[in-house]
Amino acid sequence: MAKIEQILELERLEKDIFRGIAIETMLPRTFGGQVAGQALVSAVRTVEEHFFVHSLHGYFLRPGNPVKPIVYLVDRIRDGRSFSTRRVTAVQDGQAIFTMSASFHVLDEGIAHADVMPPVPAPEDLPDASTLLPEAISWEYREWADWDLRYVPADRIARKPGVPVQQQVWFRSREALPDDPVFHVCTLAYMSDMTLLGSASTIHPDTEIQSASLDHALWFMRPFRADDWLLYDQTSPSAGFGRALTQGRIFDRSGNLVAAVVQEGLTRLLRQD
């Protein structure tokens, strides 16, 4: 698997056209986080440095071919004094596989408040997935070996009344990453697609489903580092008719809410044929 620095290093083909490399993977289709992260990098490269991305909204239109590079076409929708907006289309073989809108904002003074991080075990008190017994290690941990993922056991999650699905995961890069804050934002766009849709299946452990990300929305609230521990607090408010809605709040180690995620995914029953 390529390093995140390689994944997010795009080639500029034209003023607003970029290309991402093909990434070695065990997946049959391109990882959605890769497409979202590369799309955000392409958008970032077309705005002035004093604008910071605060949100993105994307739709996965077709499965990407993991052995082929992806071209990103950036449309400069608006450049204002406080906000800039970009639309990015990811293309393979002449077809759009992903489309994303990203909004950028200059830092302003305003009101401030945030959710409090739920009580959870410290990441050091949880097992690293790579140290589990071989039969318990799934392919996901080998696919993303550069990322330290630590699931909070179900019996140690502080349950919320009326919330049917909860999952909590600590994660961070195993290696130190560049200091550029924008790099960490784009890295989180990559990582935020990991484990979130799987939360919808935690109360259906014996049901085989076909799953895929359908859309992805991400809001950035406060600075963070992706090589420091981040808690992904996940819920799935609803699942039905072959789709599941999932939500995530991301906190840093100090308890600051740094990002929020909403994703809908395909969760239809696996067809026997």
- Where in the sequence numbering do the catalytic residues fall? 193, 213, 263
Tell me, rounded to whole angstroms, the distance of Cα 39 from its chain centroid. 12
Cβ neighbors of 164 (< 8 A, separation 6 or more) are 203, 236
The side-by-side arrangement of strands in the sheet containing 209-220 is: 11-14, 17-20, 70-79, 83-92, 95-105, 52-60, 209-220, 257-269, 243-252, 230-240, 166-173, 147-151
Give CA–CA dist 185/217, Å, rounded: 14
Read out DSSP for 107-125?
Answer: --------PPPPP---GGG
Q: Which of these, 245, 250, 216, lies nearest to 32 by C-alpha position?
A: 216
DSSP states of 202-239 as a string?
TT-TT--EEEEEEEEEEEE-S---TTS-EEEEEEEEEE
Helix (H, G, I), strand (E, B) or coil at 184: helix
Kindly state the tokens that stand for 179: 């200091």
Residue entry with tokens 């019996």? 155
